[in-house]
Structure 1
Amino acid sequence: MGSFLADVYPWVKSFHVMSVIAWMAGLFYLPRLFVYHAEQGAAVDTLFRIMEVRLLRAIMNPAMVATWVFGLALVFTPGIVDWGMVWPWTKAASVLAMTWFHHWLGLRRKDFAVGRNTLNGRRYRMMNEVPTLLMIVIVLSVIVKF
Structure 2
Amino acid sequence: MEHVIGYDLARGLHIIAIIAWVSGLLMLPRFYAYITGSQAGGELEQAMLKAARSLRMIILTPSLVLAWAFGIFLFATYLVADWSRPFPDIVASVPHWFWGKLILVLGLSGYHGFLSAEGRKLASGQRRHSERYWRLMSEIPFLVAIAVVLLATLEP
SS of 2:126's equivalent in the other structure is coil
Amino acid at match of 2:21: W
Please give the TM-score of this superposition, normalised by the length of structure 2: 0.85
1:27 touches 1:102 (CA, 8 Å); kept in 2?
yes
Root-mean-square deviation (Å): 2.0
| Larger-Rg structure | 2
- Aligned equivalent of 2:10, options 9, 12, 32: 12
Q: Hey, what does 2:23 align to over in structure 1?
A: 25
Q: Deviations over 1:26-80 (max 9, x none)?
A: 000001111111112323221111101000011100000000000000001135x
**Distance (Å, rounded) in 1 between the aligned partners of 2:109 and 2:21:** 10
**Distance (Å, rounded) in 2 between the aligned partners of 1:92 and 1:38:** 32
- Aligned equivalent of 1:125, options 120, 135, 138: 135
Q: Hey, what does 1:113 align to over in structure 2?
A: 123
Evaluate the alpha carbon distance shift between residue 110 and residue 67 of structure 1 in structure 2; reply closer, same or farther with a 3 A threshold: same
Evaluate the alpha carbon distance shift between residue 133 and residue 77 of structure 1 in structure 2; reply closer, same or farther with a 3 A threshold: same
Unaligned stretches of 5+ in structure 2? 82-90
Amino acid at match of 1:72: I
Amino acid at match of 1:40: S
Q: In the comparison of the two structures, how many residue pairs are matched?
A: 143
1:90 touches 1:137 (CA, 8 Å); kept in 2?
no
SS of 1:87's equivalent in the other structure is helix
Amino acid at match of 1:144: L
**Distance (Å, rounded) in 1 between the aligned partners of 2:37 and 2:92:** 47
